[in-house]
Structure 1
Amino acid sequence: MFSAFTRLSLVTRIIIAIILGILAALLFPNAAPYLSLLGDLFIKALKSVAPILVFVLVLSSIANFKVGSSNAYIKPIILMYALGMLLAAFSAVISSVIFPSTLFLDVPAQGELTPPGSLAEILKNLLLSFVANPVTAISEANFIGILAWAVALGISFRHASDQTKTFLSDAADAVNKVIRLVISFAPFGIFGLVAVTFAEAGLSTLASYAHLLAVLLGTMLFVALVINPIMVAFMTRQNPYPLVFQCLRESGITAFFTRSSAANIPVNLDLAKRLGVPESTASVAIPLGATINMAGASVTITVLTLATVHTLGISVDFTTMLILSVVATISACGASGVAGGSLLLIPVACGLFGISSDIAMQVVAIGMVISVLQDSTETALNSSTDVLFTAAVDRGLR
């Protein structure tokens, strides 16, 4: 039986693991603390190898980079990242206007959380991350700093001997083998994650915020199934949905349960390789996307901010909503570097409307309540879009 299970595709094994995880949560809810070890080990393994993976692959790719091979690919990928986040924020504005949400702002504020003070502070932190100590950047999974050092060293190694470049390439292959080993255990990790999620949270705690959650998830689904396909179709001049559904199935499902774009980098790199994306492109675009491409975060920031504005009865004109979309897009780029992700960036957007930090932090607390589904769906959208746009640009330019 185990031999037959291992012969199945990874996606099929993950789907079986999800079903078994739900059954385990329903039949043996008291076993959740023990099953959580499987999920914790899987996420820990992914997070531990991701920084080394990004550093070695980017360094090796740039050091062995052939002029004219894929240097024209990165700019359009970054452009699609930026445009996708902006359109996601616009979609969140429209959905919030059509389906306004009302919050219960009597929940205790999370006093121990410390959000960034302003948009300028986020940009400052991002710039400072570029010059972080390389050892510290790897140990703390500071992917902006890792990318900066990998690019700098890669450019320097372009003038190295062929033997050195071969060593770097061999090192990248070795890390890839470790990654494939970790990914092979994905079904077991996801089994543990699903069992714990359904056993501990369920859906009962989300009932009081069903409308807000519906607006959030509905907008993210609209972005994933309408906005992204339109962009991909424009880029490839082909039916986008086979590629869209493959990315959602093979990247989005894993990201949904790991709830970490950084942890999903190995999964996306493996998928990009199978989609035919050159390693020199994927090894730069995928880690970069995990750092700055946060369409789901821009949706979360915009929807929760406008829900707060509606609850407080603040009048908002169209121009202010457009400015909010831009602020949410820029803020979302810093979500990966902030503890608590997109939720702790909500006070920055609330500052546009003069909403106090105390009230904004109560909104963050509400976000924590619904984060079981909100954060998982947000991460699935963020991470699957990384590989989707990378593959779309590769196919379009080819």
Structure 2
Amino acid sequence: MSLLSSLIKRYKSTNLMLQIFVGIILGILVGIFLKDLVNYTSLLGVIFVGALKAVAPILVFVLVLCAISTRVYGDGSKRIKNVIILYLIGTFLASVSAVVASFLFPTTLSGINAQDSVSLAAPSSIAAVFSDLLFKMIDNPINALATGNYIGILTWSIALGLALKNSSNSIKEVISEVNDGTIQIVRFIVKLAPFGIFGLVSQSVKEAGINAMQSYLHLLAVLVFTMLFVAFVLNALIVFLLTKKNPYPLIFICIRHSALYAFFTRSSAANIPVNMALCAKLNVNKDLFSIAIPLGANINMAGAAVTIAILALSTAHTLGINISFTQALILSFIAALGACGASGVAGGSLLLVPLACSLFGISDAISLKVVAIGFIIGVIQDSIETALNSSTDVLFTAICSDTKLNLDFKKD
């Protein structure tokens, strides 16, 4: 028993991305050399996807409800409002960039079969799109949770969050506790991801060979390219338009002193002290960054918006679903809103992919396979996503400060 306890303790203390990497390698080896074992190892993947399927609807509902009803969005000052507006605009534009990148570099995914969606069909008109969207929005909330109707879940969570925004502190504390409890469950499931990924990879390699991994590399390349575009082009354009100055000295400072830390910690929350120290060195107004930086760790999620949009559209491309301009625009809003609710959860952006997929009528059974693929590439994707999110917190806060920025400081 002591040996088992020791193994469990060591497993808990080991870096999750390292564990997933080991799971991928072992899955490839089993899929190539021990194909008879795949019938058993694939059960680990089935269980993992099933657990994600069970928790995803509740996660979306609780996260968005808590985000709207309990979080304080500012102290009434104009500067804080400006930062919030930048956070929201930046996240939305990042999702638009992801949609454009998905159409320019369409990705098809191995392990997702077009015959799985023979009942799916593209809407015949814009009216059909909005009609379907409306009926999903007014679905019974219990039925929405039970059937995985994420549009209905999102609608009810927003409505209830707004209704409870002015409720008593005791009610908000209960909501926060429920949110924390849900996050703990999700963290437990995500901690088991290496076993699930091991099973899924072994099955994919057995069925499609090692070439099955090539589409994942293409997906990762599109994700990384889009996030770099947001960091060095889109953010630079926003900074230039607001300051009329060369944006790159400030951007490179944010990359060196914030993004690099966030890349390895993979946590915007853990990077809050780093970002606050950086803001102090930049001579940003303390009253501003003491609120804006923690707030940004929760709602400034450009990288998450990119992940949600690209994975959803990759699924649609794989299934042969034609996406209209209206659907693409709605997806941009949904990805941005979903990204704002993804904070505080390891792999939170991945777990909100079914929300975006539901816009195209894609079932949980299919979208959660894509979530599992997201965990496979998450060794790199999640690190870059967090680096983009966290460094942008400092960037947008700094340009909204009423103080002269110090861009000449040296790293301690």
- For normalisation by structure 1, the TM-score amounts to 0.62
Tell me which residue corresponds to 2:343: 336
Q: Answer yes or no: is 1:315 the counterpart of 2:322.
A: yes
CA contact under 8 A between 2:309 and 2:331: conserved in structure 1? yes
Residues 106 and 328 (structure 1), Cα distance of their counterparts in 2 relative to 1, 3 Å cut: closer
Q: Which residue of 1 aligns with 2:272?
A: 265
CA distance 1:303–1:39, change in 2 (3 Å): closer
Matched, 1:123 2:158: yes
Asked whether the 8 Å contact 2:112–2:319 carries over to 1, the reply is no
Q: For residue 392 of structure 1, report the CA deviation from its aligned partner.
A: 1.1
Residue pair 2:303, 2:388 contacting (<8 A) in 1 also:
yes
Q: Deviations over 1:316-352 (max 9, x none)?
A: 1112111110111111110115563111111111111
Instruction: Name the % identity.
Output: 52
In the alignment, the residues of structure 1 paired with residue 104 and residue 229 of structure 2 have an alpha-carbon distance, to the nearest angstrom, of: 14
Distance 2:310 2:223 in 1: 7
- Per the alignment, in what secondary structure is the counterpart of residue 101 of structure 1? coil
How many angstroms does 1:129 deviate by? Answer: 8.9
Distance verdict in 2 for CA 1:36–1:358, change over 3 Å: closer
Hey, what's the Cα distance between the residues in 1 that align with 2:274 and 2:346? Answer: 23
Task: Give, as a single letter, the amino acid of the residue that structure 2 aligns with 1:74.
Answer: I
Specify every segment of 5 or more residues in structure 1 that has no aligned partner in the other structure, as ranges: 1-32, 41-57, 63-69, 108-113, 143-199
Aligned residue number for residue 366 of structure 2: 359
Shift of residue 135 of structure 1? Answer: 9.4
- Select 1:99's aligned residue among 98, 105, 110: 105
Matches within 5 A, 1:274-289: 274-289=281-296
In the aligned structure 1, how far is the partner of 2:165 from the partner of 2:386? 22
Q: Letter of the aligned partner of 1:104 in structure 2? A: S
- Equivalent residue, structure 2, for 1:72: 78
Q: Secondary structure at the match of 1:100?
A: coil
**1:209 deviation in Å?**
1.0
Q: Secondary structure at the match of 2:400?
A: helix
Q: 1:116 to 1:265 in 2, by over 3 A?
A: farther
Structure 1 counterpart of 2:251, from 232, 244, 258: 244
Q: How does 1:184-199 map to 2 (within 5 A)?
A: none
Distance, in Å, in 2 between the alignment partners of 1:115 and 1:248 is 38
**TM-aligned CA distance change 1:106 to 1:129, over 3 Å:** farther
Is 1:216 equivalent to 2:228 in the alignment?
no
The structure 1 segments of at least 4 consecutive aligned residues displaced by more than 6 Å after TM superposition are: 33-36, 138-142
Q: CA deviation at 1:121?
A: 5.0
Closer/same/farther in 2, CA of residues 335 and 94 from structure 1, 3 Å limit: same
Counterparts of 1:269 and 1:317, CA distance in 2:
42
Q: What SS is found at the alignment partner of 1:314? A: coil
For the aligned residue pairs, the C-alpha RMSD in angstroms reads 3.6
In the alignment, the residues of structure 2 paired with residue 135 and residue 318 of structure 1 have an alpha-carbon distance, to the nearest angstrom, of 41
Query: How far apart in 1 are the matches of 2:236 and 2:387?
Result: 16
Are 2:335 and 1:300 equivalent residues in the alignment? no
Q: Does 1:227 align with 2:241?
A: no
* CA shift in 2, pair 1:254/1:338, >3 Å: closer
- Per the normalisation by structure 2, the TM-score is 0.60
8 Å CA contact retained: 1:105, 1:359: no
Question: Which residue of structure 2 lines up, in the alignment, with residue 88 of structure 1?
Answer: 94
CA spacing shift, 1:125–1:271, aligned 2, 3 Å: farther
Task: Give the unaligned 5+ runs of structure 2.
Answer: 1-8, 17-70, 114-146, 182-197, 199-209, 406-412
Query: 2 CA distance for matches of 1:247 and 1:116?
Result: 39
Cα deviation, residue 105, structure 1: 3.1
* CA distance 1:380–1:283, shift in 2 (3 Å): same
Aligned mate of 1:256, from 242, 251, 263: 263
The superposition leaves residues 23-58 of structure 1 with CA deviations (integer Å, 9 ceiling, x where unpaired) of xxxxxxxxxx98996979xxxxxxxxxxxxxxxxx9
Residue of structure 2 in register with 1:176 after alignment: none
Is residue 284–residue 403 contact of structure 2 (8 Å, CA) maintained in 1? no
1:386 corresponds to 2:393: yes
- Aligned with 1:336: secondary structure? coil
Q: Distance in 1 between matches of 2:79 and 2:260?
A: 27
In the aligned structure 2, how far is the partner of 1:263 from the partner of 1:243?
Answer: 22
Partner SS for 2:343: helix
Distance 1:102 1:296, change over 3 A: same
Contact 1:291–1:333 at 8 Å: present in 2 too? Answer: yes
Rounded Cα–Cα distance in structure 1 between residues aligned with 2:252 and 2:160: 35
Relative to structure 1, the CA distance from residue 216 to residue 223 in structure 2 (aligned partners, 3 Å threshold; closer, same or farther) is same
User: Measured at CA, do residues 296 and 348 of structure 1 come closer, stay the same or move farther in structure 2, by a change above 3 Å?
Assistant: same
Q: Deviations over 1:58-80 (max 9, x none)?
A: 99x96xxxxxxx92201111111
Q: Following the alignment from structure 2 to structure 1, what is the Cα–Cα distance between the partners of residues 252 and 111?
A: 38
